[in-house]
Structures are given as C-alpha cells and as structure tokens.
Structure 1
Amino acid sequence: MSSIQTTTTAFVTTAAPTTTVRNCRSEPDRQIFIETDAVTLSAALAGTLVCADEVVVASGSPDELMVAGEFAASIDAPLLIIDAASSEIRGELRRLDPTSITVIGDLLPGGVPPGTPTNSLSVAEATAAISEIAPDDVDRSDNLWLADATRPDLVAPVTAIAGLRGDRVILGDPHNLLGDQALLEAVRASSAEAVFVAGGFDPLIVEWQSAALLSAPELPGGGLKLFPGRRLVALYGNPLTSALGVMGEQGPEEAVARAAEVAAGYDADGVPVVLSFELIATVASAFSGDDNNYSEEMTIEVIRPWIDVAAANNVYVILDLQPGRTDFLTQAKLYEELLVLPHVGLALDPEWRLEPDQVHLRQIGSVDAAEINQVSEWLAALVREHNLPQKMFLLHQFRLDMIENRDQVLTHPELATVIQMDGQGPLGTKYGTWDALTAGTGNLGVFWGWKNFYDEDVPRGGATPAEVLGLQPVPVYVSYQ
C-alpha cells in the first residue's frame, strides 16, 4: 500500500500488499534518481531491490501507466515500463527472478523467465482490481518520495516502489519546488525522516531543494522562496549615522515600527508585505584607511543587534556593500557568519566600486558582470551548504554603464536576483530611468526594485505606493532613504 499526495489533494491510500516469500527489500544506495525517461527510471528504481516475488510490467499512455503504478503498489510489486526496445528491462526482469508477472497493456516483454506465471490485465481490469484489495494495517515509514507532478509516466514507477517500501509519494513541480507552499506544508506535516527524489528534476539543485523542503528554516513571511509571493519594503542606511539614510535615525526596535509605517499601502495589489532593513555594511569613505580601499567596514558587533531584532520581528535584512577599491567578493566574505542566517541577504552597490586610481564622488563607479557572478556563485553555494531558503541578491543601478555586460549576469535558483533602480530626483526623470533600465530585460531572469528618497526626490519622499505599484514590471522591493 502506498499513499500519494498532490499539493491540492489529501493522501490517497491504495490497496494492501501481499505477503512476500523472500526478503527482497534493501535500502537504496542513493536518495536521488534523476531521469526523464520512464523506462530507464523504472529500471533504476527496481534496481534498488535484491529480488521481487511479483513484478508488474506495463506499457501505454502516461495515465495508463499511472494505473499500473497504483496496481503494482497494491500488490507490493515494482513496476517495469517497457517499450519496443526494452533490452534493459528484460535484463532487470531476469535479475529480479519473479515468481509471478502481471502484464498491463498490449506489449509483452521478451525474455520472460521460462516457466514464470504471467497474467495479463487490461487497464480497466487493473483499476477494478485495485479497489477490490483491502488496505492493510502494516506500519508505514515516515519516508517520502518526491515525484515529478508534470510527468505521470515518471510518477508511476515511483508509486510502485514507494508502495513496496511502505513509503509515501508526494508530487511537486520541478520548476517551482520551493515556491509551492502547499508542498512545503505537506512535507513538514509528514514528519518525514528522509525524502527520496525521482524524476525529471534539476540534478544541480534538487539535493538542496529536497533538503530545504525537509528542514530549512522558513523566510520572514513564511516559505522558502522569496518571489513571487511577497514584497519587501525597507528602510535604508547605516546604524551609526543619519547622514546615509533613515536607518541611522533610531534604534532597531524603533526602526521596525517605522518600516511598518512606510510599508502601508504596498499590499494593495494583494501581495503580502514583509518589512526589511537594508544596512550599509561597508561605507564608501573619502579616506583610504589602513587597507587603502576607501571603504569603512562595519564590525559584526555593530550589525548583529539589528540582525537579532529583525529575526525577532520577521524582518528581512540586506547587507549593502560599497567596496571602494577592493572587490565585492572580498567584502562579502567578511560577513559570512551573518549571511548564513536565513533572513539575511546581500546587496552590491556598483556606484561605489572604484578602479585602483579612483576616489569617490569624482565619477560613478561600475562593476563587470564577471565580478557579480563571482559573488553570486559564492552566495548560492552558501545557501546549498547551509540548508537555507532562497536568499536575496540585490544589485543597485541607475545608469546602464554601472553594470557592464549586464546581459551576462548569471542568476541562480538559490538566489532571488533583484535589480533596484536607485536614482534620485524628479519623478519624471526617475520614470525615464526606470524605463531605460528595464527595457528588453524580460529574459534576464531578475526581479525589480525601486527606491524613494526623502530629501532628494521631487516631490519630497518620492513616489506613492500606488505609483510604485503602477510601474511595469511591478517592483518586488521598495526601499526608503
């Protein structure tokens, strides 16, 4: 018997397994089976068994294969899917050495072990047989099998092997595993001890995704994926001075209340708002400093109280870097112990990225996509290695030349990459900058942000929430400086 769950239905219990004569079960030597071909996947899953007293062999449409998978689960058997060239399946069938084979569909396999009893069932007969077998009372494990909801033919052999093992099957879209709140809630409600993955998932990230579904801490506002589904509204600045933004005008507890005030109205389109702090962790400086980089690095001790208050109040924090003559990755690594927290993201401010012979305020700084990619690759690895939810990766830009080779900026599933238009001045000018920056970026794979300035914008304070929500693309991030 197995249980199958989609993100929109309750667990459905199929019928009871028969009693096996031999102890054919063994623990799989891996938890991830990446395969987009149903025939190959069925052989791989059957290969986790030492033997099998009963085997179901099937061909047909994806829906017909799903019936075969449920039937196989009901009789405690693996499912082997065959096609016209199933030599791999024939070999696997001989290895399993079954005492009984049930064939569902019209295509009979070659190489059936001589003398093995073979039964043939139509899809309708298999469907009827499932409903006639009473559920059993065998203790079931807490293990889950995550199957590809977009491919019923791949779900079928997973259903069979999970039923044989006494595990449960849950379905997820490979393109939105962490964005499916119902899937997350189902996994967490299952008390699963392990998640096996089988189907057409991304081999580069599915290990992180499945581990995150099982045990990663959730983001402020819930869930494991930042966008879409929420909007961050932030206060911007440095804790030590009010000259760099409103963050320095009060302590962290008061800043939470102030952020709530400015966030009012940003949920008018139905998107939930999460409060945020964008803290300038490294400040562009007129002085070279001991390290000659024209950037003053805040200590962890200065930033930590804000991080802690944010965690206690479901506030997301973004650490902003103004690196001067050093590179962004070098500075980002200074704050690794904060960036491994689930509610802390990272922002790069190219305006303050200097060449070796430059000083601030004599030119607008810039950064090449290659340097941005170094940071994003490092940050994405942190997310994977520390079992974290998706992390925000923010890029400031108000001129096209601030990010050189922008079309080569890489995005990562572990990161929600946002470009924020952070120019100041009359709203008409800012809207023009917005249009210039966002034009032709539909395939860039990024989200967009907007910044309001209390003193420098005209009118003072910048665009209203309604005006910001009227922008296209609609911003997922809004900050106030």
Structure 2
Amino acid sequence: MSQPVTRRVAVALLAAAVAGCGSEPGPPAAGPTSAPPPSAGPTAAPSTAPPAPPPAASELPLGGRRIFPAYRVVAYYGTAGNPALGVLGESSPEGILPRLRGAARGYGAGGRPVQVAYELIATVAQASPGKDGRYRRTIDLARIRQYVEAARRHRLLVVLDVQPGRSDFLTEVAKLRPFLEQPHVGLALDPEWRMAAGQVPGRTIGRVSAAEVNLVSAYVAGIVRERGLPEKLFVLHQFRASMIPDITRVQARPGLAMVQHVDGFGTRAEKDATFGRLRRPGQFHIGYKLFYDEDVRMYTPREVLAFRPSPEYVSYQ
C-alpha cells in the first residue's frame, strides 16, 4: 500500500526526539534486504521483572483455554506514555479502558464474545543506535508490569509488541519471558522494524525470515507447554509481502493462536488492495488494523465484520 512518506518521517522524528522511541516507517528500501543472522542467543530475563504466575493459572481472562473461535479480540495499540505511537499511549491503562471498551462494543454482533486487549510496544525501534548499536530500546519493565497487572484486574489480554531494530526477535523476546509466563500475555512481531546491518529504523521497511519467526514461535510454545498455560496470541504484523517473503514456511504451533495481522493505512481502496493481496486464511487467523488519524473514512465495526474472511483480531492505532 502506498504510504505518505512525509507524515511517517515526521512522526518518526518526533518520537525519537521527544520520547526516545522509533515510530512510523519511512520510504521503503530500493529492494529486498537480507536479515542479519541471529545474535549469539537470547539474553537472560532481567531480575526486576515480575514473578511468574503459579502453574494453576490455566484459563484465559474470560474463561476457557482457546482464544479462537471462542472470542474476537479488539485491541488498542501503542506504547506507554507516547501518544505519537498509538492510541494506547494517550492515557494510563485504566484511563484508556473506557474508550477501548467503547471501540470494541460494535464487534459483538452474532453472539461471539469480544475480548479486549492492550497491544503494548514493549521493544521500540529507535532512530539512533544506542550504546550497543542495536537501534532499539525495551521500555521500563515497571511500565510493562503496569499494563500486565491492569489487564489481570480488568480481565484483558496483553500482547507485547516487539520492534527489534538491528537485534533479532528471539533475543528481544527472551527478555520478556517472565511476562510471557503469565496466562493472559501474548506476543506480536513487527518485521517492519527488523533491520539488516546498515539499515536504520524509519528509513527502511524491514523484513524477517520464516526461519526466525519459527524459532520465536517454538520458544513461546515451549513456555505454554512447560507452564500448562492457555492458548497465547502470536501476531505477525504485515503490510507488504516483502516483510515476510517466505511466509508460507511459517509453522503452526500447538498452544499458539497464529495471527497474520494486515496493517497499513490510507484510503479504503488502498487498504482493500493490501488485505486482498496479503491475507492467508488457510494458514492463519486474520487480523486487521484501523488508524484513527491516518485512515481515510475509517471502516466501522460492522463493515470490518463484513470482510471475508472476517478478522478475528482487530486493533486500533
């Protein structure tokens, strides 16, 4: 889908300058880039992360152990304290909840229960390299814990979104393990921000191989199995085929609800073209993103539910 370059670059610069965060991407690279090899291995989880829940915590917030087809998930996307990166950052976890529940209300047609969720960018791509040259930053673990605990109190799901910069997904996801050991916390990978050597977030649209995705999904499925947890969301963001060029090789995993989340803003015609070109309902549950500011005539819940296939995971940015 065509993306307004000036808008996306401006937001990236604002986020980097004000909050130390990466943001909307800039223009695409001249051609596909090869992903750098994974680093030596996942780093140990920080000791300040919250303790893992007891193994008996074996149900989803609204009951049961399977997300789909039991529920339709509606999420607000963003990061803590930074509205430039999405609606979730416009208020505290409790403060944004009434607005999130209002947005989700229209998705309950047909009697399918709606499960609301926070999709929190936990690892944010950066416009500058940082001390280790990886162009990414994990937000304060206390801020992640704030969302995870609020979600537990209010019976929400949490999806931790990872933008790895020049790191690799498995290294960054391993840092979040104590949160992923909780029954209501899932994961999203954002290949747009997976940079190869020499690439900078906000200047290039990134990509990830199916092999790297499969390493991460195996890791998360292992947590589900070891802890006896209910099914977890495992979300792959995509608005260009080049972001996951060998997507057909992405493997299904027991214990994971695998979602292909079709992103991209613009006119309805542009969004329809992207949805029609990328969706793979035979391989994934289908997700869809709506943009409050960038979409032209943003689709209503009733219109989204009329898509074929009907998205099972809908997020707002």
TM-score by length of 2: 0.81
- For residues 251 and 212 of structure 2, what CA distance do their matches in structure 1 show? 11
Partner of 1:341: 182
Contact 1:266 1:273 (C-alpha < 8 Å) held by counterparts: yes
- For residues 233 and 281 of structure 2, what CA distance do their matches in structure 1 show? 19
Tell me whether 1:450 sits opposite 2:261 in the alignment. Answer: no
- Return closer, same or farther for 1:449/1:442 CA change in 2, 3 Å cut-off: closer
- For residues 104 and 282 of structure 2, what CA distance do their matches in structure 1 show? 29
Contact 2:209 2:245 (C-alpha < 8 Å) held by counterparts: yes
- For residues 424 and 361 of structure 1, what CA distance do their matches in structure 2 show? 16
Alignment of 1:27-66 (within 5 A): none
Once the two structures are superposed, what CA deviation does each residue of 1:328-373 show, in whole Å capped at 9, x if it has no partner?
Answer: 0000001100000000000000000000110012221110000000
Once the two structures are superposed, what CA deviation does each residue of 1:61-118 show, in whole Å capped at 9, x if it has no partner?
Answer: xxxxxxxxxxxxxxxxxxxxxxxxxxxxxxxxxxxxxxxxxxxxxxxxxxxxxxxxxx
Partner of 1:420: 261
- For residues 280 and 442 of structure 1, what CA distance do their matches in structure 2 show? 25
- For residues 321 and 284 of structure 1, what CA distance do their matches in structure 2 show? 8
Name the SS of the counterpart of 1:264 in structure 2. helix
% identical equivalent positions: 48
- Find 2:119's aligned residue among 278, 286, 306: 278
The alpha-carbon deviation at position 477 of structure 1 amounts to: 0.6
- Find 1:351's aligned residue among 176, 192, 198: 192
Tell me whether 1:437 sits opposite 2:278 in the alignment. Answer: yes
Alignment of 1:131-280 (within 5 A): 215-280=56-121
- For residues 286 and 363 of structure 1, what CA distance do their matches in structure 2 show? 11
Partner of 2:161: 320
The alpha-carbon deviation at position 302 of structure 1 amounts to: 1.6
Query: Which amino acid in 1 is paired with 2:309?
Result: P
Contact 1:220 1:316 (C-alpha < 8 Å) held by counterparts: yes
Gaps of at least 5 residues in structure 2 are 1-54
Tell me whether 1:472 sits opposite 2:308 in the alignment. Answer: yes
- For residues 89 and 203 of structure 2, what CA distance do their matches in structure 1 show? 26
Moved over 3 A (4+): none
Contact 1:347 1:393 (C-alpha < 8 Å) held by counterparts: yes
- For residues 251 and 333 of structure 1, what CA distance do their matches in structure 2 show? 26
Partner of 1:168: none
Once the two structures are superposed, what CA deviation does each residue of 1:114-164 show, in whole Å capped at 9, x if it has no partner?
Answer: xxxxxxxxxxxxxxxxxxxxxxxxxxxxxxxxxxxxxxxxxxxxxxxxxxx
Gaps of at least 5 residues in structure 1 are 1-213
Partner of 1:107: none
Alignment of 1:354-433 (within 5 A): 354-433=195-274
- For residues 274 and 245 of structure 2, what CA distance do their matches in structure 1 show? 17
User: Relative contact order, CA 8 A, sep 6+: which one is greater?
Assistant: 2
- For residues 229 and 295 of structure 2, what CA distance do their matches in structure 1 show? 37
- For residues 384 and 411 of structure 1, what CA distance do their matches in structure 2 show? 14
Once the two structures are superposed, what CA deviation does each residue of 1:298-337 show, in whole Å capped at 9, x if it has no partner?
Answer: 1321210111011010110000000000000000001100
- For residues 281 and 147 of structure 2, what CA distance do their matches in structure 1 show? 35
Once the two structures are superposed, what CA deviation does each residue of 1:421-446 show, in whole Å capped at 9, x if it has no partner?
Answer: 111111111011101012xx3432x1
- For residues 168 and 180 of structure 2, what CA distance do their matches in structure 1 show? 17
Tell me whether 1:298 sits opposite 2:139 in the alignment. Answer: yes
Contact 2:77 2:88 (C-alpha < 8 Å) held by counterparts: yes
The alpha-carbon deviation at position 260 of structure 1 amounts to: 0.4
